[in-house]
Each structure stands twice: as C-alpha cells, then as structure tokens.
C-alpha cells in the first residue's frame, strides 16, 4: 500500500511519517510553503525525508500569505502562553488544512496513493476547527465524492495528546532534535509561544529533556 | 452582502460574475493559474473585472501542474469531440475544484465575504464529479465545519445547461466575445475540443452566432 504524509517538519507530522513507514510499502511526503514565518520547519521536513530516503515534494503556495489573515503569516505578533488560550486564535490560518489536504489529495489521486496521513492531534481541537474529527471525516467524504479514484485519510493521533505522540515517537526513534515546532522562525526555538509550551510539556511528561535547542537555554 | 466569484475567464463563470453583480453590494473575483494550457482565459477574466471595476486576485499555483495529471496541464493531447464523451475524462484535473474552492474559501473567510459563487453547470456533471450538486453540498459543509466564520456557496447554474446560461447572460449583456472557453490556448479558439463544441451548440440553440473568433472561420 502507498501512503502520502502531509509533513510540516514539526513534531506531530514527523512522528506520523515514521508511523507511515511502518505501515506502508511505499511512502512519500508533501510539504507546503504557505508564507509561514516558521518556514524553517521545511528544512527539518527535508532532513527527515533524506534520512528515510523517501521522495519529498514541497509545494510553493507562498503567495496565499497575502490574503490569508493570521499571525503566522503576517506582521501580527505571535501570542505567548499556553496553546489553548483564546489569544492563540490569531494563529489560525483560515481554511489552511483544507487547502493543504485538497492539494495533497490531488497529488495522491494523481499518483495512485491509498492513504493520506495527517498529523492532527487532540490538543489542536480547542483552537483549530480544521483539526477536529468531524472535519477530517467531512473532508474525506468531499474528496471521495469529487473524484473517480478514492483515498482514505489516516490520522493516527487524532485522539492522542502531544505527550502520547512523543511516547510513541520515542519508541520509533524519531529524531526529535530534527523537528521544528516553534511558530517563530528564529535560530533557536523561542520556548514561549503556545506551540513551544505544549511541546516542552510533552517531553517533560515523558520524563525526558527535549533535545531541541531553545533560546533561553544556558549553553554548556 | 459581499460575494466572491471564482472566475476562470470562461463563459459560465463570467456569466456568474455578472449575476453576482446584480445580487451583491460588493463583488470580487478570484482566478487560478494552475498551469493550464489555456492560461489565456485569465486575460479574459482580467478584462471583465476591469470593465466591471472590481478587485481581481489571480492566485499562482502553477507548480501544481507538475503533479496533477491531466491533458489540460500536460503534454497529453486534448481530446476532440463532444463534451460528454468518455475520452473527455483525460481533461479531468484531480481534485481541481476542491483546490480552487478551498483557497477561495480561505480568501473569502479572511475578508468577511458572505457568498462564494461557482460557475458549475449541469453539462459538467457527466464528466466532472467535482461539479455535481452532492460535491458542492459536501464541500460547503466541510468549509463550515473547519472554520469559525461561515460562508454560503452559490451555484446559480448548477441545474442549467450551457444553452440556458447563454440565454440568461445575453439578457445581462455579458460580453461573450471576451470570454474564453477553448481548452487549447491558441490565438483563436479551436472549435473542436469538447469545450468549444458545447459552447458553439449553446449559441446555436439560442439562435445567435458566437461572437468569439474560431480557427476555421473565414475572415471577412
């Protein structure tokens, strides 16, 4: 069976990539440059595809940044604090997952993939409506109504917390030092945006130190 | 009310644009460069938006051509003959309408539009599953599950033939000489591809001559 993974280069989708490698005979990954400040994540996506020796397609749709309003793609400051806080709503990119999934599905259908893997998880549900189970079910249905070929969407962690994803990924030896989660695209992760806070918590709850470098760390 | 029209530059969506102008207080149009051979249609889209003095956004996603397999975007020859024939299936671009509608919805939601207009019509249903009523209903549902803001998709001609669209458009004085339907992107329309054949029939059934120039016409 053939699986296509939507890979951001972050912790969740990279873990999904390793999972797909265990489940499919053939795996490819697809990533999107949508004008995100943290475009740096794409370098991490590329790294992991090279390590796994799989084909990686980066789709450049960066000009949609001009009209999709979000703090992730504009001059608006990225909010600090916990992932579930109301202020994090500014990081919503309208219809982002639908845009990514539609293009990835077009690729998957053109190239006879059986499965399309997405890295959504339960921690996303509070803020991002396009990460909820009812959305995934609906978009899968829409794709299959709209095309001659059919595809199945696989979301291994849709009911898991980030902590559980890390637990699973550690078993698969996912190289977490080479995954990028921070919404700021700086040299080191900020450690303060909602995305960093959630990630740090996930490692802490697993009883290990996140191997990624953070801004306020003391260099030893 | 604000309406956003997905405008290809063809006969159907241009007629929808004129209809939206009658129905909404504010109208904008969005078009896609997806690497189609008949990219020329975009010039016609631009022309009509200038005439109507409305904002027109062209989204460049032409690099998706590399992986969406279709005779519209590759070296495969465009089939001649009637629009409903089996061979026309090579002109299907996998998931095209879903990709366009997803990006357009992102734009519409970011900019507080109430309506998203699509130019699908009953003649499309036989070949293009992503033009059928059940697809439109499903994609509208998916958009509204996946976002905080809501939008309504308007398809004025979903149950109409191209002949009926032309009948309606003529009443609104749509400048059909400035709409491009041919799948070949040459200087004049070919008059032989499924899209041309259907268009020519629609004018004939309305008892008038298509004002567009065709290749095999004798220049008077």
Rounded to 5 degrees, what are φ and ψ at B46? -60, -45
In the block, tokens 């029939």 appear at: B201
Nearest chain B CA: its distance from A175 CA (Å) = 29
| Strand ranges (E), chain A | 2-6, 26-33, 55-60, 115-117, 152-154
Burial of B122 (0-12, 13-18, 19+ CB in 10 A): middle
Output the CA–CA distances (angstroms, integers) from residue B175 to A77, A183, B10, B11, B15, in the order listed: 46, 48, 11, 9, 9
Rounded CA-CA distance B93/A134 in Å is 27
In this complex, the residue of A67, A103, A139 whose CB is nearest that of residue B142 is A139
The model's confidence at residue A123, banded by pLDDT at 50, 70 and 90, is confident
- Indicate the residue of B69, B106, B143 with minimum beta-carbon distance to A64: B106
| Burial readout B89-116 (b: 16 or more C-beta within 10 A, e: otherwise) | ebbbbbbbbbbbbbbbbbbbbbbebbbb
Tell me the pLDDT tens digit for each residue of B20-77.
Answer: 999 999 999 999 998 887 888 999 999 999 999 999 999 998 888 777 766 666 666 7
Burial of B171 (0-12, 13-18, 19+ CB in 10 A): exposed
Token pair recorded at residue B126: 């036989």
**pTM for this model (two decimals):** 0.89
Distances (CA, A) of A90 to A35, A42, A76, A119: 16, 22, 8, 21
> What pLDDT, in 10s, does the model give residues B101-120?
999 999 999 999 999 999 99
* Whether the predicted pLDDT of B219 surpasses 60: no
The answer to whether B129 contacts A148, with C-beta atoms less than 8 Å apart, is yes
DSSP structure class, residue B122: G
Q: Which two tokens stand for residue B42?
A: 């975009």
pLDDT confidence of residue A183: 83
The helix or strand, by DSSP H or E, that contains position B29, with its residue range, turns out to be strand B26-33
Q: Is the confidence at residue B82, as pLDDT, over 90?
A: no
DSSP assignment letter at B86: G
Nearest to A30 by CA among B142, B100, B64, B106: B64
In the block, tokens 């609104």 appear at B172
For the beta carbon of residue A218, count every other beta carbon within 10 angstroms.
4
Q: Find the closest chain B residue to A66 by CA distance.
A: B107
pLDDT above 70 coverage of chain A, percent: 88
Residue A30: what pLDDT?
97
Q: Taking the CA atoms of chain A, what radius of gyration do you get in angstroms?
A: 17
- Using DSSP's 3-state secondary structure scheme, residue A63 falls into helix
Query: B92 contacts in A (CB within 8 Å)?
Result: 148
**How large is the ipTM?**
0.86
| Mean pLDDT over the full length of chain A | 89
User: What integer pLDDT is reported at residue A76 of this predicted model?
Assistant: 66
Instruction: Mutate one of B65, B71, B98, B148 to test the A interface: name it (highest A CB count within 10 A).
Output: B98
**pLDDT tier at A74 (50, 70, 90 boundaries)?**
low
Residue A79 pLDDT level (bands cut at 50, 70, 90): low
Residue A204, H or E segment: helix A194-205
Residue ranges of domains in chain A, CATH in brackets: 2-205 (3.40.50.620)
Chain B residues in contact with A69 by the CB 8 A cut-off are 110-111
Least confident residue range of B45-59, B134-148, B161-175, B205-219: B205-219
């Amino acid at each position: 069976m053939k699986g296509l993974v939507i890979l951001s280069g972050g912790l969740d989708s990279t873990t999904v990539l390793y999972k797909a490698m265990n489940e499919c005979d053939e795996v490819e990954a697809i990533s999107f440059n949508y004008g995100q400040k943290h475009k740096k994540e794409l370098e991490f996506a590329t790294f992991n595809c090279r390590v796994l020796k799989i084909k990686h397609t980066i789709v450049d749709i960066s000009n949609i940044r001009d009209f999709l309003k979000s703090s992730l793609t504009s001059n608006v400051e990225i909010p600090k604090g916990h992932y579930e806080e109301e202020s994090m709503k500014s990081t919503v990119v309208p219809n982002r997952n639908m845009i990514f999934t539609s293009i990835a599905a077009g690729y998957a259908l053109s190239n006879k993939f059986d499965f399309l893997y997405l890295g959504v998880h339960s921690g996303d549900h509070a803020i991002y409506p396009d990460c909820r189970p009812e959305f995934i079910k609906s978009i899968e249905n829409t794709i299959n109504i709209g095309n001659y070929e059919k595809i199945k969407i696989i979301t291994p962690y849709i009911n898991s917390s980030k902590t559980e994803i890390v637990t699973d990924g550690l078993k698969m030896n996912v190289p977490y030092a080479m995954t990028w989660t921070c919404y700021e695209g700086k040299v080191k992760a900020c450690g303060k945006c909602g995305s960093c806070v959630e990630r740090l918590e996930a490692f802490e709850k697993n009883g290990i130190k996140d191997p990624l470098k953070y801004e306020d760390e003391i260099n030893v």
